[in-house]
């Protein structure tokens, strides 16, 4: 099942092809990267641990060293220790993968969407494991919250339900990136779309139904139906990076209508300020109380300088 959003974004002119001599990083092993050249050749080059190169970077190899070309887009997150991580470069689409088991951590979906929009990526929601018996309520709740805001794909990597719609979407020439906590089925989805890959898939721990992290490196794959997809280890945290309260509201899913008008105060944080468009829409029930409460929780964390959100000098 595919739920369309109002007005579709995304950069359909993604330059998947690279010029001769230039390569794209298709795997990052920590101390080495794999580079794929336009000729189809692959080369492994050693890199320093803190080289800053990421999957999706376009590079030129000069005497076994990499010269990175400017990035078109750059997706960042803050990890649980407060450090900023660049997760991928030159991406078009962020697929936020969730499942009824293991459940996403609180705020995960919204922070991933806000981060994607901040980085000029088109976020979409991929609800996997719709074959599970408790999936229905979970799917309905997400459709109530995000339907009409984002494109939503309800899929099962096991039964194949919804996979064709997802493939058609990814095949539009996008470079997409799947994020989601460990165990939601990112690698399984990629295996279903691209059976030749045979990526390792993890079992769920019995206790707590958390996944074990079998995917240890980020890898970029060309899909048989077109487009490219990055498989990643699970990120259990998707902390925001260098974001102001105004930007948080500007990118927050559910606030789109409010952002078309101006609040009385230009620097309104949408808490208790008079003449606040967001507060008026909440009062009119055009923004749900759930959306507003979640926004305020994330804003509280930003204001409190929570390590996950804090800007380090
Ligand atoms: N029931 C069900 N299980 C799935 C589905 N997709 C993945 N799984 C299982 O979920 C576990 C974690 O999958 P994996 O692809 O490794 O998750 P990742 O950590 O997000 O890459 C494995 O045991 C998979 O077999 C699905 O659509 N339905
Ligand atoms: Mg995986």
pLDDT top residue among 293 and 212: 293
Report the 10 Å Cβ neighbour count for 96: 27
Identify the CA nearest to 26 among candidates 230, 170, 192: 230
Give the three-class secondary structure for 306.
Answer: coil
Mean pLDDT over the full length of the chain = 85
Do β-strands 122-127 and 93-98 pair in parallel, antiparallel, or remain unpaired?
parallel
pLDDT at residue 69, as a whole number: 96
Which residue lies with its CA nearest to atom 23 of ligand 1? 203
Going from the Cα of 278 to the center of ligand 1, the distance in angstroms, rounded, reads 38
Do the two domains 2-9+84-231 and 22-68 of this chain adopt the same fold? no
Which residue lies with its CA nearest to atom 2 of ligand 1? 129
Going from the Cα of 200 to the center of ligand 1, the distance in angstroms, rounded, reads 10
Mean per-residue pLDDT for 171-186? Answer: 92
Contact present, 299 and 269 (Cβ < 8 Å): yes
Going from the Cα of 189 to the center of ligand 1, the distance in angstroms, rounded, reads 8
> Within the chain, what is the greatest distance between any pair of CA atoms?
63
Encode pLDDT of 259-282 as tens digits.
988 889 988 999 989 999 999 999
Angle made by CA atoms 144, 148, 153, in degrees to the nearest 5: 80
From the number of C-beta atoms within 10 Å of its C-beta (0-12, 13-18, 19+), residue 126 rates as: buried
Atom of ligand 1 nearest to the CA of 128: 27
Which residue lies with its CA nearest to atom 8 of ligand 1? 185
CATH C-level class of 245-303: mainly alpha
CATH C-level class of 2-9+84-231: alpha beta
Helix and strand numbers (H, E) in the chain are: 7, 14
- List the structure tokens of 130: 């719709």
Going from the Cα of 99 to the center of ligand 1, the distance in angstroms, rounded, reads 9
Structural domain boundaries in the chain: 2-9+84-231, 22-68, 245-303
Q: Partners of 95 in the beta sheet? A: 124, 178
Report the 10 Å Cβ neighbour count for 30: 10
Mean per-residue pLDDT for 282-301? Answer: 93
Topology of domain 22-68 in CATH is: SH3 type barrels. (2.30.30)
Contact present, 58 and 36 (Cβ < 8 Å): no
Encode pLDDT of 34-79 as tens digits.
999 988 899 999 999 888 999 999 999 988 889 999 999 999 988 8
Going from the Cα of 152 to the center of ligand 2, the distance in angstroms, rounded, reads 21
Atom of ligand 1 nearest to the CA of 202: 16
What is the value of pTM for the model shown? 0.86
Report the 10 Å Cβ neighbour count for 73: 18
Share of the chain above pLDDT 70, in %: 85
148: left (phi over 0), alpha (psi -120 to 50) or beta: left
Which of these ranges, 18-27, 143-152, 203-212, 221-230, has the smallest mean pLDDT? 203-212
Protein residues with CB under 6 Å of any ligand 1 atom: 128-129, 131-132, 156-158, 180, 182-188, 201-204, 211, 214-215, 234
């Amino acid at each position: 099942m595919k739920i369309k959003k109002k007005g579709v974004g995304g950069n359909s002119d993604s330059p998947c092809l690279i010029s001769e001599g230039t390569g794209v990083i298709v795997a990052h092993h920590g101390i080495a990267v794999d580079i794929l050249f336009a000729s189809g050749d692959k080369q492994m080059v050693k890199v320093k641990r803190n080289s800053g190169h990421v999957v999706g970077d376009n590079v030129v190899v000069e005497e076994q060293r990499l010269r990175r070309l400017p990035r078109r887009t750059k997706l960042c997150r803050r990890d649980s220790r407060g450090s900023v991580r660049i997760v991928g470069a030159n991406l078009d689409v962020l697929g936020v993968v969730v499942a009824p088991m293991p459940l996403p951590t609180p705020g995960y979906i919204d922070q991933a969407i806000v981060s994607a929009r901040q980085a000029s990526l088109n976020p979409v929601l991929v609800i996997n494991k719709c074959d599970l018996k408790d999936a229905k309520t979970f799917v309905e709740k997400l459709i109530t919250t995000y339907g009409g805001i984002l494109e939503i794909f309800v899929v099962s990597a096991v039964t194949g339900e919804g996979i064709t719609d997802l493939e058609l979407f990814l095949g539009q020439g996008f470079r997409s990136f799947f994020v989601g906590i460990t165990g939601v089925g990112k690698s399984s989805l990629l295996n279903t779309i691209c059976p030749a890959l045979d990526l390792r898939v993890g079992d769920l721990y019995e206790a707590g139904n958390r996944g074990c992290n079998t995917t240890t490196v980020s890898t970029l794959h060309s899909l048989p139906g077109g487009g490219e997809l990055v498989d990643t280890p699970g990120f259990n945290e998707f902390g925001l990076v260098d974001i102001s309260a105004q930007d948080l509201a500007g990118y927050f899913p559910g606030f789109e209508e409010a952002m078309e008008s101006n609040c009385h105060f230009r620097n309104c944080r949408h808490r208790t300020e008079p003449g606040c468009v967001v507060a008026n829409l909440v009062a009119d029930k055009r923004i749900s109380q759930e959306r507003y409460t979640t926004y305020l929780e994330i804003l509280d964390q930003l204001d409190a300088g929570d390590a996950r959100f804090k800007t380090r000098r």
